[in-house]
Amino acid sequence: MRRLSSAAAARAAAKISLVALDVDGVLTDGKIIINDDGGEAKNFHVRDGMAIVMALKHGLQIAVISGRRSKVVEHRARELGIRHVYQGAGDKLSVLKRLLAKLKLTPSRAAFMGDDINDLEAMGFAGFSAAPADADSSVLEAAAWVSSFPGGGGAVRELIRLVMTAQGKWPSHDGKAYSDEA
Ligand SMILES: [Mg+2]
């Protein structure tokens, strides 16, 4: 897909009501630490979390759609207040379609950020396809918008900031209203 100009990205972002996110490599740096007992640890970025909390406060819908299953994701989603959590999603496109139907939204109202080949279908369906800077090369080619930041390192925050700025919802400075734990 042709990369959007910044003006075109802002126009598309202004329409977004749902920001759907892959987890590994988007909300995290893609690394999974597996302990002896099989428990997992992942690296999330606290500033991505803050942006998600702010987006939810302003009425944006946030979803996480992961191909894997992990308790860590449940904990992080609960902490941030994300209600749309889909794990073990072998077919992310179907999950996204079902969620859009449930929310009564057209695809043009959805952004999807992914980093690997199993995200490509959902990205192609969403009105706004986004990728972190360190996504797989095929995903970088397919994305209409690529963050300057890597997965787990601010890519999600930059996407949400773009959407909220286009909608006049991003605060000019982070004040007390946004001081929740994120
Ligand atoms: Mg991924």
111 CA distance to ligand 1 middle (Å): 15
Residue percentage of the chain with pLDDT more than 90? 92
22 CA distance to ligand 1 middle (Å): 6
Domain limits, the chain: 6-169
Q: How much is the mean pLDDT over the chain?
A: 94
Surrounding ion ligand 1 within 5 Å at CB are 22, 24-25, 115-116
175 CA distance to ligand 1 middle (Å): 32
54 CA distance to ligand 1 middle (Å): 23
Residue 10's pLDDT band (cuts 50, 70, 90): very high
**pTM, 2 dp:** 0.93
Query: What residues pair up with 128 in beta bridges, in sequence order?
Result: 111
Find the DSSP H helices in the chain.
6-14, 46-57, 71-80, 92-103, 120-125, 137-142, 155-166
The closest of 114, 115, 112, 155 to 20, measured between CA atoms, is 112
* pLDDT digits 0-9 by tens, 99-145: 999 999 999 999 999 999 999 999 999 999 999 999 999 999 999 99
Q: Which two tokens stand for residue 59?
A: 């009425």
- Is residue 64 within 8 Å of 48, Cβ to Cβ? no
Q: What is the pLDDT of residue 177?
A: 45
- Alpha-carbon distance of 73 to 64, in angstroms, equals 9
Instruction: Give the class (CATH, top level) of 6-169.
Output: alpha beta
* pLDDT digits 0-9 by tens, 73-112: 999 999 999 999 999 999 999 999 999 999 999 999 999 9
